């Protein structure tokens, strides 16, 4: 069986625009043909480990054998009921949970391409990935039905949707019951696309990052095996959505790669984690600095004794948080920088090598350097642009922005870093206008576009404002249309309006009313002047 739908392959970047891919470790030498689900799931059942716990959710615990049976049933439904062919894209929409994980694995096992989406995205935000990835089939939690059905008017190509999470006669579970629990993984190439992850770009237009079967194993063999080093007895837990490659790697691929188990929580805010870590006896926690900071203040009386590893990524981990967590739990947190384009973490440090406040050193299998505008390496101690390469790399779906992320074969993440004389990398700032708030990337222009739809808003600018709890918070500067007053009632009204227009977490937590916005002579907004306060 080969890929019959050529869309993803034919929309890969041209050879000259591809990043260098290097496979320096013995573990990274993959055979030319592989389906990553064979290694992550079938492998354990074949090895006689099918009875081990695999996916855990509220009131649910599936062994590896049970997970495999669910995945096989879903794969059969996809092929026989929905008629999907290898290479076709399938949109996935659900909060974290065993069913979402099973759907994702089933899509990939069937040789198709998973396009997971953040559950909080609204109908209008779903349209772009749907059109860009040419989605015709979706699997979706029935509780998110309204927003998905709301996209049909804008994206008429959307065909059937398999809804799960209720007992409907035409629901996914009913179709699964009628399907076989046997399914042989489709024989894909190591370099076939199996996943597309969408991010919000700095311009507000999302970018689709394509990843190969091989990439999903490479992050396990690189960061997983070299830095995190989990064991089969581990029980993973954490906050990032599986639709974010941070969550997909940390909460699904890493545990399955070593035969461990994953606790997938629908709600995984700091307060949920505080309760769930002791409840499930979690040993590895995957989250963002903000969440660890919130948890720090509430650890008293909690039994975190089984917890042994804490991964922090998404934004920089301040030294103060590292030190306080070490004091409170005895655990040296693992900071690591990753990106949707690189799939997962490429600079980090093992516990014994951590340096509070530094991100770490290149993960074995990756190379990193700090360069100037001309891509020349700058001396240690000098800030510059972070450039990385390794077994994974940026492969945008049909996007001219490939040329800004990949230059001279290196991936330029858009971050400013300093390397010290010992080879440690220290994060300075994002080089662009992206607002990173509580671990989420929020594009200011997208929030501006939403605000501009409100009749009271004449003009606006949205920037990141330093905030001790969230890293950055979304702050809007607004020029009102005549007849409106910038009072508390209007602020609440505007905030609610944004929440109803785009994903609620992007709403401006602070709003200032101003008479005019700073602009250049050519009329361009000067965001840096607003940031200066």
Interface ranges with ligand 3UK (CB under 6 A)? 199, 244-246, 313-316, 335-340, 344-345, 359, 413-415, 427, 430, 441
Positive or negative: CA dihedral 283, 284, 290, 293: positive
Burial 374-383 (b: 16+ CB within 10 A, else e): eeeebeeeeb
Q: Least distance in Å: CB of 58 to ligand 3UK?
A: 25
Spatial distance between the Cα atoms of 278 and 235, rounded to a whole number of angstroms: 11
Q: Least distance in Å: CB of 344 to ligand 3UK?
A: 5
Q: Look-up: residue for tokens 């510059």?
A: 384
Spatial distance between the Cα atoms of 519 and 529, rounded to a whole number of angstroms: 9
Q: Least distance in Å: CB of 284 to ligand 3UK?
A: 15
Q: Which is nearer to ligand 3UK, 96 or 359 (CB)?
A: 359
The total of other beta-carbon atoms located within 10 Å of residue 123's CB is 16
Spatial distance between the Cα atoms of 285 and 263, rounded to a whole number of angstroms: 10
Looking at residue 465, the DSSP 8-state letter turns out to be E
Q: Least distance in Å: CB of 255 to ligand 3UK?
A: 15
Q: Which is nearer to ligand 3UK, 337 or 368 (CB)?
A: 337
CA distances from residue 175 to 70, 72, 163, 225, 514 in whole angstroms, order as listed = 11, 12, 10, 38, 57
CA distances from residue 353 to 153, 334, 350 in whole angstroms, order as listed = 53, 10, 5
Spatial distance between the Cα atoms of 366 and 368, rounded to a whole number of angstroms: 7
Q: Which is nearer to ligand 3UK, 100 or 348 (CB)?
A: 348
CA neighbor of 334 nearest in space, from 343, 314, 342? 314
Q: Which is nearer to ligand 3UK, 115 or 172 (CB)?
A: 115
Q: Which residues contact 109 (CB under 8 A, 6 or more apart)?
A: 35, 37, 38, 41, 71, 72, 75, 183, 185, 186
User: What order do you get walking across the sheet with 60-63 strand by strand?
Assistant: 60-63, 53-57, 261-263, 235-238, 284-287, 309-312, 334-338, 345-348, 361-362
Q: Which is nearer to ligand 3UK, 35 or 413 (CB)?
A: 413
Q: Which is nearer to ligand 3UK, 199 or 491 (CB)?
A: 199
- In the bound state, the residue with its beta carbon closest to ligand 3UK is 338
Q: Which is nearer to ligand 3UK, 94 or 337 (CB)?
A: 337
State the pairing for strand pair 89-93/137-141.
parallel
Q: Which is nearer to ligand 3UK, 247 or 270 (CB)?
A: 247
Q: Which is nearer to ligand 3UK, 472 or 476 (CB)?
A: 472
Beta strands in 313-424 (DSSP E): 334-338, 345-348, 361-362, 367-371, 384-389, 406-407, 410-419
Q: Least distance in Å: CB of 126 to ligand 3UK?
A: 18
Spatial distance between the Cα atoms of 369 and 357, rounded to a whole number of angstroms: 18
């Amino acid at each position: 069986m080969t890929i019959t739908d050529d869309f993803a392959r034919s929309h890969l970047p041209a050879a000259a625009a591809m990043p260098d891919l290097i496979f320096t470790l013995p573990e990274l030498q993959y055979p030319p043909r592989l389906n990553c689900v064979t290694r992550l799931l079938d492998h354990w059942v074949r090895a006689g480990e099918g009875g081990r716990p695999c996916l855990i959710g509220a009131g649910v615990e599936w062994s590896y054998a049970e997970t495999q049976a669910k995945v096989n049933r879903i794969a059969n439904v996809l092929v026989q009921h929905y008629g999907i062919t290898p290479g076709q894209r399938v949109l996935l929409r659900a909060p974290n949970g065993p069913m979402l994980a099973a759907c994702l694995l089933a899509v990939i096992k069937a040789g198709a391409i998973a396009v997971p989406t953040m559950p909080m995205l609204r109908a209008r935000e779903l349209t772009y990935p749907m059109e860009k990835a040419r989605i015709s089939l979706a699997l979706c939690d029935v509780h998110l039905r309204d927003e998905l059905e709301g996209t049909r008017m804008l994206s008429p190509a959307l065909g059937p949707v398999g809804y799960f999470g209720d007992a409907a006669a035409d629901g996914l579970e009913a179709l699964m019951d009628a399907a076989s629990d046997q399914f042989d993984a489709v024989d894909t190439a190591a370099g076939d696309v199996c996943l597309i992850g969408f991010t919000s770009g700095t311009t507000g237009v999302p970018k689709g990052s394509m990843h190969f079967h091989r990439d999903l194993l490479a992050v396990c063999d690189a960061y997983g095996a070299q830095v995190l080093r989990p064991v089969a007895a581990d029980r993973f837990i954490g906050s990032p959505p599986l639709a974010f490659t941070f969550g997909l790697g940390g909460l699904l691929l890493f545990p399955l790669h070593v035969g461990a188990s994953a606790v997938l929580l629908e709600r995984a805010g700091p307060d949920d984690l505080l309760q769930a870590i002791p409840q499930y006896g979690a040993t590895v926690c995957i989250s963002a600095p903000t969440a660890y900071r919130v948890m720090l203040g509430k650890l008293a009386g909690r039994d975190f004794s089984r917890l042994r590893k804490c991964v922090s990524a998404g934004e920089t981990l301040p030294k103060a948080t590292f030190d306080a967590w070490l004091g409170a739990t005895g655990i040296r947190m693992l900071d690591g920088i990753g990106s949707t384009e690189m799939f997962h973490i490429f600079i980090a440090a093992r516990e014994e090598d951590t340096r509070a406040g530094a991100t770490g050193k290149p993960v074995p299998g990756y190379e990193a350097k700090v360069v100037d505008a001309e891509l020349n390496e700058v001396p240690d101690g000098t800030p510059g642009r972070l450039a990385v390469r390794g077994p994974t790399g940026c492969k945008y779906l049909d996007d001219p922005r490939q040329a800004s992320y990949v230059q001279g074969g290196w991936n330029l993440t858009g971050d400013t870093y300093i390397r010290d004389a010992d080879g440690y990398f220290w994060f300075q700032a994002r080089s662009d206008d992206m607002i990173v708030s509580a671990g989420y990337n929020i594009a200011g222009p997208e929030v501006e576009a939403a605000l501009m739809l409100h009749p009271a808003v004449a003009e606006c600018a949205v920037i990141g404002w330093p905030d001790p709890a969230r890293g950055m918070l979304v702050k809007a500067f607004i020029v009102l249309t005549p007849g409106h007053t910038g009072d508390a009632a209007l602020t609440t009204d505007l905030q609610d309006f944004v929440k109803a227009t785009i994903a609620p977490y992007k709403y401006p937590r602070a709003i200032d009313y101003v008479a005019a916005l700073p602009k250049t002579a050519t009329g361009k907004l000067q965001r840096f002047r607003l940031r200066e306060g």
